[in-house]
Amino acid sequence: MLTPRFPRRKRIFDMVLVIASAPLTLPVLLACAFAVKLDSPGPVVFSQTRTGQDGHPFQMFKFRTMVKNAEHLKSQLQHLNVLKPPDFKIPNDPRITRVGRVLRATSLDELPQLWNVVRGDMSLVGPRPTSFAPDTYQLWHTRRLEAKPGLTGLWQVSGRHAVAFDDRLRLDDWYMRHASLRLDVSILARTVPVLLRKEGA
**Model pLDDT, residue 93:** 80
**pLDDT on residue 39:** 92
Q: Quick one: pLDDT at residue 186?
A: 95
Average pLDDT estimate for 108-136? 89
Mean pLDDT of 117-134: 88
Task: Find how far residue 76's CA is from the centre of its chain.
Answer: 25
Percent of the chain with pLDDT over 90: 45
Report whether pLDDT(201) > 90. Answer: no
Q: Which amino acid, residue 102?
A: V
Q: Does some domain include residue 159? A: yes
Contacts of 25 (CB under 8 A, 6+ apart): 111, 114
- Which residues pair with residue 57 across a beta bridge? 51
Sequence length of the chain is 201
Q: For residues 123 and 154, is the Cβ–Cβ distance under 8 A?
A: no
Q: Residue 17: which pLDDT band, with cuts at 50, 70 and 90?
A: very high
Q: Could you tell me the residue range of the domain that residue 32 belongs to?
A: 6-197
How does pLDDT run across 39-70, given as a tens digit for each residue? Answer: 999 999 999 899 888 888 999 999 999 888 76
Residue 167 lies in a domain: yes
Higher pLDDT, 177 or 23: 23
Question: What does the alpha-carbon distance between residue 164 and residue 120 come to, in Å, rounded to a whole number?
Answer: 28
Would 182 be classed as within a structural domain? yes
Res. 80 pLDDT band, cuts 50 70 90:
low
| DSSP assigned state of 44 | S
* Ramachandran quadrant class, 93 (left: phi over 0; alpha: psi -120 to 50; beta: rest): beta
* pLDDT at residue 131 in the model: 76
Name the average pLDDT for the chain: 85
Q: For residues 127-143, give the mean pLDDT.
A: 73
Task: Give percent above pLDDT 70 in the chain.
Answer: 80
The strand pairing partners of 125, in sequence order, are: 152
Query: Is position 51 within any domain?
Result: yes
Do residues 134 and 169 make contact, with C-beta atoms less than 8 angstroms apart?
Answer: no
- Give pLDDT, residue 14: 97
Residue 1 covered by a domain: no
Q: Looking at residue 55, what is its pLDDT? A: 84
| Nearest C-alpha neighbor of 50 from the set 154, 171, 150 | 150
Domain count, the chain: 1
Q: Is residue 140 part of a domain?
A: yes
Cβ within 8 Å of residue 59, ≥6 positions away: 47, 48, 49, 50, 121
Residue 100 lies inside a defined structural domain of this protein: yes
Residues 148-199: tens digit of each pLDDT: 999 999 888 886 555 677 788 888 889 988 989 999 999 999 998 888 776 5
Q: Is residue 187 part of a domain?
A: yes
Whole-number pLDDT of residue 163: 64
